[in-house]
Amino acid sequence: MGLGSRSGDRRTAYLFILPLAAFILVFIVIPVIGTFWTSLFREVTYLESVFNFLGNYRRLFSDANFWQSMKFTLLFVAVCLPIELFLGLVFALILNEKLPARGVLRAAVLVPWAIPTIVAARTWELIYNYSYGLANYVLAALHIGSGPVNWLGTPLSAFGALVIADVWKTTPFVTIILLAGLQTIPEQIYEQARVDGTVFYQRFFKITLPILRPVIAVALIFRSIDTIRILDLIYVVTDGGPGGSTTSLSLYGYKFFNEGDFGYGSAIAVVVFVMAALLSVIYLRVGGFKGVVE
Amino acid sequence: MRRLGTAALLAALVIVACAGETEKRGPITLMIGGAPAELDYWEEVIGAFTRESGIAVDLMRQPTDTDQRRQSLVVPLRAGEKNPDVFLMDIIWIGQFAASGWLEPLDANIATHGFDLNVFFGRIIEFADRYEGHVVALPVYIDAGLLYYRKDIFEDHVTGRVPETWTELIEYCRVAQRRQRRLQPGFWGFVWQGAQYEGLVCTFLEFALSNGGQLVDRSGNLTLDDPKNIEALAFMRDLIATYKVSPPNTYTEMKEEEVRTFFESGEALFERNWPYAWGLHQADGSPVKGKVGIALLPKFEGGRQVAALGGWHVGMSRSSDRKDDAYALIEYIVSKDVQIGFALNLGWNPARQDAYDAPEIVENLPHLIQLKHVFRNAAPRPNLPYYSLLSRALQAELSKALSGMLTAEEALKNAQAKGLEIVETYEE
């Protein structure tokens, strides 16, 4: 490609990315730096603002609630992501086949993703509701168990309830990305493989998966960043309960902002940012992007 | 971006408009949130004030949600904006707002105008509105926890009076549950606010104090793990797990609105709620209309009956550039006639004692007389600048005890330890 060979073209190219660069600078880089800067202060509304360098971070180390939120968040990512990836891959493979009404099916799979999270979360909250929720209604109609279940009442069941809601909401996103990836694989490769007498799982592991690897990495990056900073779903469904057992890092930090400790809240936000950034780098390294990154 | 542009344009217009009107004295701003009907009523109040005083007032509308109302105040106050001049605060924000230096002391104006603070309920000014000796806010209306009960079921199944102790309450609940469940399988004895949120602290305060416990001792030290508090919390868990008179979703879902709708649908004998529920229970279309009574919340043997104090207060921004006009508005808002208007139109309970004797109130809201006594003795939450942080730590531990993850003792020992950490970190 000779696009970059002439300095005029190069200038035009830079001009084209200028709006994007400006956008990133104003809405991402500056706020991130600002948050980091704030995290170095004791910044509480009613106290004098004092520079205390890493004081907020030191406090994080001995804050049991912070570690509890960290544990919850990592566990949530570790449970949700594989399920979403697996289901997303299955749906993508199915939707990639020549099915009747494929267009309708593809659109239908996207519906949960298209619903705003707050609305979806309210819906799930109602499904799990003890007195008039759908889940208990179904149990009663099928005569399963002895009376209504308090779904959000124990740490374990509340965790499970959140995982189900999150998987329902975000699997379509994984599906659509993987489906796009699948469509880039030429049908001839599979035909040749069939001629060579391969079985379907050989074709899947030798052809589909390797070609799909960068696409999977992209889906994983987006999903892990999203899940690591999860706030809205949990805020609505459990608000961190019972007993704070489902408090995510973002929710934990958000509460400090609301209560007027901007320094400590910022420190938690920075931790979430660093975790998301680290994960992205790892995925990019192992995801077949080597040439792109380096 | 477009929204930002529009906002900038609007801001510019406002600035131009204000600049043009400085000689004529432009409007002062009052920031209020709440339900649309409440805000519409505020427009009327402001209209009347302007006619009376000649001072124009702009109403800046906030969202309904309490957390968002707080956020939309903190931003301009922290930035030292001239507006809003006057605003409403939840009683538990006053400590933080005052300590942040956002509230203008009202003492001088109160003295010049000869305004008598004794018209308000007993100690409410001392509890909530005084900060480092200065009066920084005035109460607009007050809330207190009440016991609602179903008069009809009561008369059917139980003879005798309204329970005054928690033990009696459990007995009433058991009898009523046993009989009522033949017709209504989902019937429960007692519903109360047990979800992990600010309301849980209010309920806990009532149980703890009615057992002779305390959250803070006389010299201001935190006493969350007081043995009396532990007993009270264990009892709250027992209501759900042992006596089974409160539903299992008490600690996951029950906030005031869930409690109110549960009781209002006719599924409970007793309800702990704020006074606002009264009007809704008695409204046309309510299944329990005319069947509801109110009483003081019960106590433990040897304790006293306690109601947690809530409510909203009005204050003035230190950055206001129209302090005298702003004070005139504040004094108008807490005047007797306006307070009576709030009670009649919005069901808000006046913070002034003299409003309760007004003929309109006696005639239209006879139950308020009963409440006057409750309000006089309502118990405040600690008035500290870092109260919200303390409250959140406490909420999480209370929730652990109610859900059975920890015993009441473990939970309150944790809460005490975390509370002391918070005091150490945030004490000035």
**pLDDT tens profile B354-372:** 999 899 988 888 888 878 8
CATH code of B196's domain: 3.40.190.10
pLDDT recorded at residue B416: 97
Asked whether B106 and B138 are in contact (CB, 8 A), the reply is yes
Considering the domain architecture, whether residues B180 and B210 belong to the same structural domain is answered as yes
Domain assignment present for B398:
yes
Considering the domain architecture, whether residues B39 and B120 belong to the same structural domain is answered as yes
Q: Cα angle vertex B387, ends B385, B391, to 5°?
A: 165
Give the least confident one: A255-264, B60-69, B284-293: B60-69
Boundaries of every domain in chain A: 65-293
pLDDT at A281 over 90: no
Considering the domain architecture, whether residues B247 and B351 belong to the same structural domain is answered as no
Give the least confident one: A20-29, A269-278, A283-292, B161-170: A283-292
Q: In this structure, what DSSP letter does residue B220 have? A: S
* Residue A148 with chain B: CB contacts under 8 Å: 248
Residue B359: strand, helix, or coil: helix
pLDDT at B85 over 80: yes
* Residue B253 with chain A: CB contacts under 8 Å: 129-131, 152
Considering the domain architecture, whether residues B113 and B55 belong to the same structural domain is answered as yes
Considering the domain architecture, whether residues B277 and B301 belong to the same structural domain is answered as yes
Asked whether B179 and B235 are in contact (CB, 8 A), the reply is no
Instruction: Tell me if chain A has a CB within 8 Å of the CB of B251.
Output: yes
Domain assignment present for B347:
yes
* Residue A38 with chain B: CB contacts under 8 Å: none
Instruction: Tell me if chain A has a CB within 8 Å of the CB of B390.
Output: no
ipTM strictly over 0.95? no
Tell me the DSSP string of B282-293: TSTT-TTTT-EE
Instruction: Tell me if chain B has a CB within 8 Å of the CB of A213.
Output: no
Total domains, chain B: 2
Give the integer Cα–Cα distance in Å for A117 and A123.
10
Considering the domain architecture, whether residues B134 and B169 belong to the same structural domain is answered as no
Asked whether B122 and B113 are in contact (CB, 8 A), the reply is no
pLDDT tens for each residue of B371-395: 888 888 889 998 888 999 999 999 9
Confidence of residue B252 (pLDDT cuts 50, 70, 90): very high
pLDDT at B169 over 80: yes
Residue in A112, A127, A216 with CA at minimum distance from that of residue A168: A112
Stretch A110-135: mean pLDDT? 92
Give the integer Cα–Cα distance in Å for A184 and A177.
11
Confidence of residue B315 (pLDDT cuts 50, 70, 90): very high
- AA identity, residue A114: A
The CATH class of A65-293 is: mainly alpha
Chain length of chain B = 428
Considering the domain architecture, whether residues B201 and B68 belong to the same structural domain is answered as no
pLDDT tens for each residue of B321-344: 999 999 999 999 999 999 999 998
| Domain ranges, residue B291 | 146-306+386-426
**Whole-Å CA distances, A48 to A149, B215, B389:** 49, 28, 18
Confidence of residue B36 (pLDDT cuts 50, 70, 90): confident
Considering the domain architecture, whether residues B251 and B231 belong to the same structural domain is answered as yes
Residues with Cβ within 8 Å of A252's Cβ and at least 6 positions away in sequence, in order, are: A65, A66, A69, A240, A268
Angle in degrees, 0-180, between the axes of helices B387-402 and A249-259, rounded to the nearest 10 = 140
Instruction: Tell me if chain A has a CB within 8 Å of the CB of B356.
Output: no
Domain assignment present for B168:
yes
Considering the domain architecture, whether residues B286 and B392 belong to the same structural domain is answered as yes
Residues with Cβ within 8 Å of A107's Cβ and at least 6 positions away in sequence, in order, are: none
pLDDT tens for each residue of A146-175: 888 899 999 999 999 999 999 999 999 999
pLDDT tens for each residue of A182-197: 998 888 888 888 888 8
Tell me the DSSP string of B127-180: IIIEETTEE-EEEEEEEE-EEEEEHHHHHHH--S----BHHHHHHHHHHHHHHH
Show the tokens assigned to A176: 């659509």
Confidence of residue B158 (pLDDT cuts 50, 70, 90): low
Q: Do A130 and B392 touch (CB under 8 A)?
A: no
CA dihedral of B208, B213, B215, B219, whole degrees rounded to 10: 160
Instruction: Tell me if chain B has a CB within 8 Å of the CB of A239.
Output: yes
pLDDT recorded at residue A112: 92
**Higher local confidence (pLDDT), A2 or A153:** A153
The β-bridge relationship of strands B130-131 and B309-316 is unpaired
Minimal CA separation from A81 to chain B, in Å: 27
pLDDT recorded at residue B377: 81
Residues with Cβ within 8 Å of A65's Cβ and at least 6 positions away in sequence, in order, are: A244, A247, A252, B393, B396, B418
Backbone angles phi, psi at A191, to 5 degrees: -60, -45
Residue in B317, B358, B335, B278 with CA at minimum distance from that of residue B120: B335
Q: Per DSSP, what are the bridge partners of residue B150?
A: B292
Confidence of residue B403 (pLDDT cuts 50, 70, 90): very high
**Higher local confidence (pLDDT), A290 or A140:** A140
Considering the domain architecture, whether residues B243 and B269 belong to the same structural domain is answered as yes
Q: Do A243 and B78 touch (CB under 8 A)?
A: no
Considering the domain architecture, whether residues B275 and B397 belong to the same structural domain is answered as yes
Cβ count within 10 A of residue A5: 8
Considering the domain architecture, whether residues B283 and B410 belong to the same structural domain is answered as yes
Domain assignment present for B243:
yes
